[in-house]
């Protein structure tokens, strides 16, 4: 499960990450480059790889996780009340 951000919960990070992966590897320019450099077999392997969708428990509701966000810093740069969570995520 990905870590949340200050603006997006882990569920949205995962949804974006999956969409970005598919957009990149299904792009026709990318697939043409792969075919030109590595051949038709490599092109077909990537098309096959991106045709399979991973089942994500976080996205399909099987994993009951709360949509939490990282705490935001206040205007003067001091840490918010949840400093332990913020320190753990910066490691």
Tens of pLDDT along the chain (91 residues)? 788 889 888 889 999 999 999 999 999 999 999 999 999 999 999 999 999 988 998 888 888 888 888 888 765 555 555 555 555 555 5
| Count of domains forming the chain | 1
Q: pTM for this structure? A: 0.69
Count Cα neighbours of 65 within 13 Å in the Cβ-side half-sphere.
19
Contacts of 42 (CB under 8 A, 6+ apart): 34, 35
Residue 32 in domain: yes
Q: Which domain does 43 fall in, by range?
A: 10-90
Residue 24 in domain: yes
Residue 78 in domain: yes
């Amino acid at each position: 499960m990905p870590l949340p951000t200050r603006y997006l919960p882990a569920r949205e990070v995962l949804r974006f990450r999956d969409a970005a992966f598919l957009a990149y590897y299904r792009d026709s320019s990318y697939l043409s480059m792969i075919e030109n450099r590595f051949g038709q077999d490599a092109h077909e392997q990537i098309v096959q790889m991106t045709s399979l969708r991973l089942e994500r428990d976080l996205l399909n509701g099987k994993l009951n996780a709360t949509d939490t966000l990282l705490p935001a810093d206040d205007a003067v740069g001091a840490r918010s009340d949840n400093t332990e969570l913020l320190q753990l995520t910066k490691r």
